[in-house]
Structure 1
Amino acid sequence: MYVKTLTVSELSTYIKKIIDTDFILSNTNVKGEISNFKIHSSGHVYFSLKDDFGKINCIMFKNKFENIKFLPENGMSVVIKGKVSVYQKDGSYQLYCNDIELEGAGKLSAAFENLKKKLEAKGLFDVSAKKVIPKHSRRIGVVTSPTGAAIRDIINVSKRRNNKVNILIYPALVQGPNAPNDIIKGIEYLNTVKDVDVILIARGGGSIEELWSFNDEALAKAIFKSKKPIVTAVGHETDFTMVDYVSDLRAPTPSAGAELLTLDLNEVNFKIDSYRENLKKLVKNNINNEKSKLFNYKKSLEYNSPVVLITNAYKQLDNLNDTLNVSVRNRLKLEEQKLSKINALLNAHNPLNVLNRGYAIIKDEDNNLITHIGELSTKNNINITLKDGNANFNIINTEKITSK
């Protein structure tokens, strides 16, 4: 029987081809404990997965590892999704990882989804049932661990933003089987404190198992029944628990919850200063506008004042008087000229002027002018006017002069 002799690389290639085409090995889930976990400078992750009887080397490339929601650690029990293949350089097989889940996380996720559907069907997630979160809380009731980092963050953020706010802490377990009942007691107690404006349920981040207390059905119902508004701030921003769906508002972190519930006095004071300055400007502008209006009204009144009208009337009267005087003077002058002409004409035709040259005017007793000698023959008395007086004469004799 002939047996082909293979080189080492040919053998590795053949084995790799067989493994890569195997249906189970190309898409498998493997559970075990992490050991020798290391993140390379390239961003790729190298570790081993072991159990009591074996070990397999694992690699997870950077683009896959960036999607993991937790940081794997040595000793963690996990389920790896990926494929088995051969690393030809040293002829070893290893597991190429696509995803890592904590062991039991799949069952917990299924339980979470079942409870979510159940509570949603009962109306615990209805938006219409959400209570209004007060914009300015004077006293905040906090249900959390009194020794955890969450309460320190809440106090630090709250006091930094508003040193007037009062925080009432109800110490409670936030992990383990007794935690849900402890948190429920805190909710019930804070509902009896009259001056508590809002309740904040908080804890820091953790694995799904560590946060599982907040996926309790009884706790969800207690939050829904609360008379006071409840804000939940459980875990990190990517962590969602059942209480987040039931509460009136979800904060991504405890610090964010404190920011949501405390009014920032520095911001308020800044806004007040801005409003004050704007108000001053508005008042100043209004005053200037009103002054401008008053000035315009004053000018309008002055322009339409009766004194102005009377003064203008006086000016018109003076103008009319001047015009009348000019007209009268011109008319008088014209009439004087006419009269002078008439007087000159009268003087030219005045019979008395003839008397100055030695002539006389003869009239009868009836003051009729006598111009012919023949008229004297019938008259006894006549009146003769000379330039310097009158004289009466009796007619004795008349004589007519004949022309030659």
Structure 2
Amino acid sequence: MYSKIITVSTLNNYIKKTLDNDFILRNANVKGELSNVKIHSSGHIYFSLKDNSSKINCVMFKSNANSLTFIPENGMNVLVNGRISVYEKEGVYQLYCDGMEIDGVGNLYIEFEKLKRKLEEEGLFDFENKIDIPMFPRKIGVITSSTGAAIRDIINVTRRRNDKVDILIYPSLVQGINAKYDIVKGIEKLNSITDIDVIILARGGGSIEELWAFNEEIVARAIAKSKKPIVTGIGHETDFTISDFVSDKRASTPSQAAEIVVPTIEELNERLLNIRGMLTNNIKSEMLKNKKNLEMYKKVLELNSPKNFLVNQYNIIDNKKEILGHKMKKILEYQLREVQKNYELLGAHNPLNILNKGYSLIYDNEKHVISSINELKDEKKVKILLKDGKGTFKIERMNEE
């Protein structure tokens, strides 16, 4: 039997036309749980719609997304209407959504919100509990799948930024029922290694189910208990897990986690230059401040210098000396005048002045003045004081009158 040979493009085009012309598929109303929601910067929304056994990829263009009254999030149960068609270039069919409304919240989303509230109330998300990421790590530990794209991205970014940083990989399950236990063991193991400075917990993108190991309470508590800082790089920019909230720093992707943890050589040099500049400025500022203080203290010392005090005291002494000299001069002049006055007064009343008139004074040996002739009779020798001197004389009595 003859079968016509057609190209892939023709086949995809035929399937597209067939689906586009189907009455049910042109106006489909489908309910399910949102998964792997990504809101593009263009305004388009990409997501999956799933139930217990199947899922379908969906897209809602910006023109229709603008009419939504809520922000689609993973785990929401929604009702969507639109058309099923084929993206010819990839040969895949998807649901092009015209509208969407909330039909309830999925079980995983309910569990997520419940645990989030519980841990938040316990303070596991508090900023004061976060550990600072070291600026210059020498060795980083990475917990992720050894075969996934995440580890390759982390290694490539680290080697590109700073090949002096060592990487220790703890290969762990990142999906499935046992992944949570493996991740906890990895955190405990890397915490026991002394020279590890920081830990990266990472995996590539996926649906909420695929990322669920990072929403487990046992993992969250292991992160909170860690003595070493943990940076999470789980999924894509729009993916948030409980681990992200508990960790010390969240990165949107594994690559960004490596960029946060590992500084480039240029960044290190720039930081060193900045630190050097800051130190230089601080030293200059401190020296200038100290110089101003010294100048101020110098002025204070000069104002309170004992030299200034002594100079002032000398001035005071000189002033007092001058005043004292003036007073002494006045006193001496006064005393001199008094002495002169008394001298003149004494001179005026000096009994010896009478000697100038020819009188004399006669003394006995005891220097008593002899004023009577009878006293003179008993003396053999007398002293006679005249105006021009005195002497001792013998008395010879001739007669008496």
Q: Which range, TM-score by smaller chain?
A: 0.3 to 0.5
Q: Which has the larger radius of gyration?
A: 1
TM-score of the two chains, using structure 1 as the length reference: 0.48
TM-score of the two chains, using structure 2 as the length reference: 0.48
